[in-house]
Amino acid sequence: MFIVEDKGSAIALMCASLIFLGTWPALLTLLERRGRLPQHTYLDYSITNLLAAVLIALTLGQLGESKESMPNFFTQLSQDNWHSVLFAMAGGVVLSVGNLCTQYAWAYVGLSVTEVIVASMVVVIGTTLNYFLDNRINRADILFTGVACFLVAVILGTSVHSSNAADNKEKLSGSTNRYKLGKNGGTEPSSQLIDKGIIHFLTFPISDVLVDIEKGASTEYATRAEAGTVEYLVELEQRRSIKVFGSSTLMGLGIVFFAGVCLSLFSPALNLATNDQWHTLKDGVPHLVVYTAFFYFSISCFAVGTGLNILFLYRPMAGVPKSSFKAYLNDWDGRQWALLAGLLCGLGNGFQFMGGQAAGYAAADAVEALPLVSTFWGIVLFGEYRKSSRKTYTLLAFMLLMFVAAVATLMASAGHRSTK
């Protein structure tokens, strides 16, 4: 099998993982902004997410000769290693639940803030657990300096959200227009919208234009409200699949923090599955190699994700319309983006685990700086922070700077795990 043994290769895998894991949330957000039901999107995503794990196991997990201490993928499937398999599958369960929560949280508090809070919680909790599970192979002084940078980043992230929410409130209070929001076609003045808590990130799905270019259209969106204006805020709400007008921001933040707890546990679970720190395996049974662990991890992730979303087809939440499995099968609008998102997430997770097995899972948590990438997509594709105040832009710049510092220090703490 293919084995990563040097820190340089491990860091390269972490960097690739960072890009992939920061991009797939933007693709799912793209589809939600266009009105595609999140249940349909997540079912498509789950298929290619599992496919990525299967491809990695059948290729990298089968390369070369099998060793007694590190057997190939097919050899391990028949070994008595079910204790480690359960750890891997438990990691898949919490990852699936956490990802599902973040999909709904994006609509409440925006892509950037969701990723900032979740990623920072993952690093603070997950990195600490992995550091001790890995027998402290990472340099603690550098590692926890990076963790401190993430803590500062999350504080700045909440400040960015608060500042941008104040900007939106000012836009709404300054508006003299009335908008159709009621079920019966009624209208409400902007002052009432503020009282109902309609304060969240302004977003502009420029990605819609990509679809029109493919179809040869060039003027359909020319008459849309300008990005960053209160008119577009209302227009977006009418088009999106998850309705957030009138919803509590605290509810959204509650979902975000629950997701953060779930996602903090999946990497330590994989660590336990591949290194057996609690000595649950029988004598002579080799540890799960990372490819086998990732395969079982992805199977449970697929089972939970598809099961919950099939349930949500008939019993939706967050104002999402009901659907059916037949409607899902016939919904091809944007399916390619959902499938691509699942593939990117699967490859990103696989690369993270490969890098973590070589250089320490604590250092591999540097990929949780994915807000660096997702914020870029949020600004470029969705117009987040457009027409915001100078204060918001300043806080945003400092937040991103702290993430850069966090990535650099966490990767610099990389150690070396012996494969002998």
* Residue 338 neighbours by CB distance under 10 Å: 26
Q: What is the percent of the chain where pLDDT is above 70?
A: 78
How many Å apart are CA 52 and CA 244, to the nearest integer? 33
Whether 243 shows a pLDDT value over 90: the answer reads no
Q: Is the pLDDT of residue 282 over 50?
A: yes
Paired residues of 180 in beta bridges: 187
Burial of residue 346 (CB within 10 Å: 0-12, 13-18, 19+) is buried
- For the segment 293-307, the average pLDDT, to the nearest whole number, is 96
State residue 190's pLDDT score. Answer: 43
Confidence of residue 111 (pLDDT cuts 50, 70, 90): low
- Cα separation, 231 vs 287, in Å, equals 58
Q: Measured on CA atoms in the order 213, 17, 65, 295, is the torsion positive or negative?
A: negative
Distance between CA atoms of 6 and 23, rounded to whole angstroms? 27
Nearest Cα residue to 364 out of 14, 95, 17: 14
Residue 12's pLDDT is 92
Structure tokens at 15: 């960097």
Q: What is the dihedral of CA 96, 97, 98, 100, to 10 degrees?
A: 80
Q: How many angstroms separate the CA atoms of 141 and 134, rounded? A: 16
Average pLDDT over residues 97-121: 77
pLDDT at 245: 52
Give the model's confidence band at 51: pLDDT under 50 very low, under 70 low, under 90 confident, else very high: very high
For 112-163, the pLDDT digits (tens) are 677 777 877 888 899 899 999 988 878 888 989 988 988 888 788 778 877 8
More confident call, 411 vs 107: 411
- When pLDDT is cut at 50, 70 and 90, the band that residue 199 belongs to is very low
Q: Which pLDDT belongs to residue 271?
A: 94
Where does residue 321 rank: exposed (0-12), middle (13-18), buried (19+ CB within 10 A)?
Answer: exposed
Q: What is the reported pLDDT for 164?
A: 80
Mean per-residue pLDDT for 310-318? 89
331 pLDDT higher than 90:
yes
Query: Is residue 52 very low, low, confident or very high in pLDDT (cuts 50, 70, 90)?
Result: very high
Q: Where are the alpha helices (DSSP H) in 196-289?
A: 207-215, 230-239, 249-263, 266-275
